[in-house]
């Protein structure tokens, strides 16, 4: 097994806005990366420029929201960029209520942050969502130290929005 350099992982043609990444290769839009995979990939990338590119790639894996999801109700307040989070209540195979989130943003890096937050919280019970603290994850990935204050506030606003949805869900 030959370990790849960050350059080999990211072969980007920024002039055409086309990037391919081995870390998200084979993912269809809408297929969320597993949180453990995201953490492992972050650990693998040493340079913050590469980690930012990876966040952009994560954002590209998000399912495209239908036009009717871009509503004021779904808009997240407190983000400098525009962010929308859609919440669906679903009953899983065990009969438990879970919350499924989809999201989007008009900014590439923020779309990646949306993908990260969705990997952490989507398809969990309201109780699990309320019990999950995102800050240790953000600190482990180095996001707390490397995001601008506006992006960090936006990230907190996304988490607060998801937790407020869990708070009002039946049985929480």
Report the catalytic residues: 79
Question: In the structure encoding, which two tokens stand for residue 169, read together?
Answer: 């869900």
H or E element at residue 7: helix 6-9
Name the packing angle between helices 35-44 and 108-121 (round to 10°).
Answer: 130
Question: In the structure encoding, which two tokens stand for residue 141, read together?
Answer: 């990935």
The three-state secondary structure class of 46 is coil
Which residues pair with residue 75 across a beta bridge?
Answer: 84
Q: Would you tell me how many other CB atoms lie within 10 Å of the CB of residue 53?
A: 23
Question: In the structure encoding, which two tokens stand for residue 59, read together?
Answer: 């954002």
Residues 6 or more apart whose CB falls under 8 angstroms from that of 158 comprise 76, 79, 83, 85, 103, 113, 114, 117
Q: State whether the Cα torsion 5-142-163-40 is positive or negative.
A: positive
């Amino acid at each position: 097994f030959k370990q790849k350099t960050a350059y080999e992982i990211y072969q980007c043609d920024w002039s055409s806005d086309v990037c391919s990444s081995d870390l998200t290769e084979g993912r269809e839009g809408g297929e969320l990366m597993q949180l453990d995979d995201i953490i492992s990939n972050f650990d693998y990338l040493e340079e913050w420029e590469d980690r930012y590119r990876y966040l952009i790639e994560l954002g590209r894996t998000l399912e495209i929201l239908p036009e009717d999801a871009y509503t004021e109700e779904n808009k997240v307040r407190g983000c400098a960029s525009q962010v929308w989070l859609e919440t669906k209540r679903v009953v899983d195979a065990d009969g438990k209520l879970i919350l499924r989130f989809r999201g989007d943003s008009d900014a590439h890096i923020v779309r990646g942050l949306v993908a990260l937050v969705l990997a952490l919280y989507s398809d969990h019970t309201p109780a699990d969502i309320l019990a999950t603290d995102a800050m240790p994850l953000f600190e482990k990935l180095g996001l707390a130290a490397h995001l601008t204050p506006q992006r960090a506030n936006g990230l907190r606003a996304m988490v607060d929005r998801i937790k407020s949805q869990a708070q009002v869900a039946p049985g929480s």
